[in-house]
């Protein structure tokens, strides 16, 4: 997994290099060529800052009052504090170090002289601090500088100075007997094999932090992917990250790769973050994960997700898109816990297999719309997740992760998820205050049965199947006809047959069929003869499917088939009602013309 992250950085991030990193920068302080302060410019879109690469980073070297070079937080660069409090000794010390480092760089790189002179004057620094306060900047926001409209961060001479200074500092900090000789080279006895490259290296003691997980349990300052900060985590007497030996360049690549994926190619799913990428870059319109999550591009707006995936799959099979068939996908599910990155799931495989699984996902979820006139729109993945709970915020992370793996890997839907969907559907149909029946929930229930049988269940169609072999399915159909018959005879009676009998009839249909049939005969007597004749035909057509009578007790699968039969019969009845083509949940109250199929 770490190797794939490092490979992603090597092929997609040209600026990945030890001593530099990408940062989210909120502010830019503008100076003239002679060092006069102009103003502070906000960066980003207002919700977050602008991602800038090649920011000098003093990883593992900024302890003891040190500050980062050139780009720092507003607190240490300008002494900005909360509520205009006096800066503490730590802040003052790091600010002084920041100004000192700029002065050292300016002695070699003349373009930095205006900034170094500016930072040596407390009154001019106070002007920047005042402008930041006016913009309501936070002390933790990062700030960069522009000198005469030029960004010193991009100056090759500035970058070269920082590389030399950093290498000199690392070498001077190394001591004989601590893994390096006096020249700063790793000693033979400290050399280990890098887990990512296989080369003989001197392992980095601590790794850079992974940022962007604060919304899923991580820390705002970042979390560690690889870390051994307690003796109990180590082995063979190794200290810190020597227990997972990697050199500085390999570590920088995997950290930069993961940070970039979190910022640009991730999606929150329950209390986790899913980051995905492909071995070879693809066009946004070919991004299968985006289609699965329904993150629409302009090309996909007018087409269903299933049709878009099917076109890609057909193009691969025909040889038109061979580059996609040879590609590979990677998906990483993450969260944070106590300062550590928690890897919840890792999946990789062929692009073609992923396309097949996602196409099957949408095909299996296909279900007739409530109005019965067409299939419901392909559901978003989060809509399917939300079909299992009352509100999406109640969705447990393990449930979302399970459903995600089912969709990506083409697996069977667990029985526990079917039980959750069925319980939510039961509440939905019994409580008249609930909104219209959820398409994604019905699609998930249908997908459960389609995937329950190897090769798929041909009888579990998206529309009503009058020839379905299961008696439980036809019991559900009967309830839908009973409900429409009652409404036609009595109008809206408040708690009707569905509200009163759905729970009992869906579990023990054999015990309640006689009672409901007797009520139906009473309702038929109240109807116009033509309408009564039509309903008698409907009841007879369904009853004939129960040749051995209604089952006495239904298990979970039986109750699921009952629910699908009820819903699909209801949709078919609505399709036959020419006065109700809007998809509302009103029942049929008007008989179709004689001989017309409802």
Residue 62 lies in a domain: yes
**What percentage of the chain exceeds 70 in pLDDT?**
91
323 and 343 both lie in a single domain: yes
Q: Which of 264, 292, 312 is at the close of a domain?
A: 264
Residue 13 lies in a domain: no
Residue 363: pLDDT band by 50, 70, 90 thresholds?
very high
Tokens of 90: 């730590």
Highest mean pLDDT among 14-18, 141-145, 177-181, 542-546: 141-145
Residue 8 lies in a domain: no
Instruction: Report how many domains make up the chain.
Output: 4
User: Which domain range does residue 117 map to?
Assistant: 18-173
169 and 181 both lie in a single domain: no
Residue 578: pLDDT band by 50, 70, 90 thresholds?
very low
For the stretch 237-263, pLDDT in tens is 788 888 889 988 899 999 999 999 998
494 and 543 both lie in a single domain: yes
Residue 6 lies in a domain: no
- The answer to whether residue 173 scores a pLDDT higher than 90 is no
User: Looking at residues 292-307, what average pLDDT do you find?
Assistant: 59
453 and 522 both lie in a single domain: no
* Residues 165, 476: Cα–Cα separation, whole Å: 76
- The answer to whether residue 299 scores a pLDDT higher than 50 is no
Residue 242 lies in a domain: yes
Residues 195/203, Cβ–Cβ less than 8 Å: no
For the stretch 462-493, pLDDT in tens is 999 999 999 999 999 999 999 999 999 988 87
Residue 582: pLDDT band by 50, 70, 90 thresholds?
very low
25 contact partners, CB below 8 Å, separation of at least 6: 43, 44, 49, 50, 51, 52, 55, 71, 142, 143, 144
For the stretch 551-562, pLDDT in tens is 999 999 999 999
pLDDT, position 502: 92
User: Looking at residues 117-135, what average pLDDT do you find?
Assistant: 95
475 and 456 both lie in a single domain: no
pLDDT, position 431: 83
Q: Taking all residues of the chain, what is their mean pLDDT, rounded to a whole number?
A: 87
258 and 286 both lie in a single domain: no
- Supply the DSSP string of 361-423, one letter for each residue: HHHHH--B-TTSSSBPPPPPHHHHHHTTSSSGGG--HHHHHHHHHHHHHTPPPPHHHHHHHHH
pLDDT, position 492: 80
315 and 273 both lie in a single domain: yes
Q: Which of 463, 484, 501 is at the close of a domain?
A: 463
Residue 433 lies in a domain: yes
**What percentage of the chain exceeds 90 in pLDDT?**
61
Helices 471-490, 509-525: crossing angle, 10 deg rounding: 30
376 contact partners, CB below 8 Å, separation of at least 6: 366, 367, 368, 369, 370, 439, 442, 443
- The answer to whether residue 176 scores a pLDDT higher than 60 is no
Residue 183: pLDDT band by 50, 70, 90 thresholds?
very low
Residue 577: pLDDT band by 50, 70, 90 thresholds?
low
442 and 512 both lie in a single domain: no
User: Looking at residues 563-587, what average pLDDT do you find?
Assistant: 70
* Residues 421, 568: Cα–Cα separation, whole Å: 16
pLDDT, position 237: 79
CB count in 10 Å sphere of residue 409: 12
Q: Which of 169-178, 224-233, 490-499, 521-530 is predicted with the least confidence, judged by mean pLDDT?
A: 169-178
- The answer to whether residue 291 scores a pLDDT higher than 60 is yes
97 contact partners, CB below 8 Å, separation of at least 6: 65, 66, 67
pLDDT, position 296: 42
393 and 538 both lie in a single domain: no
For the stretch 189-207, pLDDT in tens is 468 899 888 889 888 888 8
pLDDT, position 236: 82
Residue 99 lies in a domain: yes
Residue 156 backbone phi and psi in degrees, to 5: -60, -35
Residue 127 lies in a domain: yes
Residue 434: pLDDT band by 50, 70, 90 thresholds?
low
């Amino acid at each position: 997994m770490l190797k794939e992250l490092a490979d992603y950085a090597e092929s997609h991030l040209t600026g990945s290099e030890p001593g530099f990193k990408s940062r989210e920068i909120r502010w830019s302080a503008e100076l003239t060529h002679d060092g006069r302060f102009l103003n502070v410019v906000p960066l980003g879109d207002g919700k977050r800052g602008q991602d800038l690469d090649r920011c000098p980073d003093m990883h593992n070297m900024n302890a003891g009052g040190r500050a980062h070079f050139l780009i720092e937080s507003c607190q240490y660069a300008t002494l900005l504090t909360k509520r205009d409090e006096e800066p503490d000794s730590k802040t003052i010390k790091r600010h002084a170090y920041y100004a000192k480092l700029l002065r050292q760089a300016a002695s070699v790189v003349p373009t930095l002289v205006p900034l170094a002179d500016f930072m040596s004057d407390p009154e001019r620094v106070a002007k920047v601090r005042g402008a930041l306060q006016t913009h309501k900047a936070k002390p933790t926001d990062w700030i960069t500088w522009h000198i005469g409209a030029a960004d010193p961060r991009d100056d090759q001479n500035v970058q070269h100075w920082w590389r030399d200074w950093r290498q000199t500092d690392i070498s001077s900090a190394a001591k004989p007997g601590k893994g390096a000789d006096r020249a700063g080279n790793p000693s033979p006895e400290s050399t280990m094999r890098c887990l990512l490259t296989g080369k003989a290296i001197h392992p980095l003691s601590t790794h850079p932090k992974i940022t962007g997980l604060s919304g899923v349990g991580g820390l705002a300052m970042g979390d560690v992917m690889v870390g051994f900060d307690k003796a109990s985590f180590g082995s063979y007497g190794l200290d810190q990250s020597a227990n997972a030996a990697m050199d500085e360049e390999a570590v920088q690549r995997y950290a930069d790769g993961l940070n970039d994926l979190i910022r640009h190619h991730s999606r929150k799913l329950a209390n986790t973050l899913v980051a995905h990428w492909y071995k070879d870059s693809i066009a946004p319109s070919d991004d299968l994960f985006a289609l699965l999550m329904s993150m629409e591009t302009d090309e996909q707006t007018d087409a269903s997700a299933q049709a878009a995936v099917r076109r890609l799959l057909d193009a691969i099979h025909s040889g038109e898109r061979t580059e996609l068939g040879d590609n590979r996908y990677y998906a990483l599910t993450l969260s944070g816990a106590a300062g550590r990155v928690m890897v919840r799931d890792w999946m990789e495989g062929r692009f073609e297999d992923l396309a097949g699984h996602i196409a099957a996902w949408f095909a299996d979820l296909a279900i007739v719309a409530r109005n019965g006139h067409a299939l419901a729109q392909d559901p978003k993945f989060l809509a399917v997740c939300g079909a299992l709970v009352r509100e999406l915020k109640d969705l447990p992370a393990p449930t979302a992760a399970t459903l995600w793996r089912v969709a990506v890997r083409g697996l069977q839907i667990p029985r526990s998820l079917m039980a959750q969907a069925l319980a939510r559907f039961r509440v939905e149909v019994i409580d008249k205050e609930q909104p219209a029946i959820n398409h994604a929930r019905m699609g998930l229930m249908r997908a459960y049965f389609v995937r329950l049988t190897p090769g798929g269940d041909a009888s579990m169609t998206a529309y009503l199947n009058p020839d379905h072999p299961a008696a439980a399915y036809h019991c559900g159909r009967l309830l839908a006809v009973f409900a429409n018959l009652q409404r036609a005879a009595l109008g809206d009676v408040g708690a009707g047959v569905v509200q009163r009998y759905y729970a009992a009839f869906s579990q023990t249909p054999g015990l309640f069929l006689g009672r409901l049939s007797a009520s139906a005969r009473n309702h038929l007597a109240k109807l116009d003869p033509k309408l009564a004749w039509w309903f008698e035909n409907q009841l007879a057509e369904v009853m004939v499917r129960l040749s051995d009578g209604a089952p006495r007790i239904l298990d979970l699968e039986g109750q699921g088939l009952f629910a699908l039969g009820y819903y699909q019969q209801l949709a078919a009845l609505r399709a036959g009602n020419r006065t109700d083509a809007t998809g509302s949940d009103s029942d049929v109250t008007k008989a179709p013309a004689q001989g017309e199929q409802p």
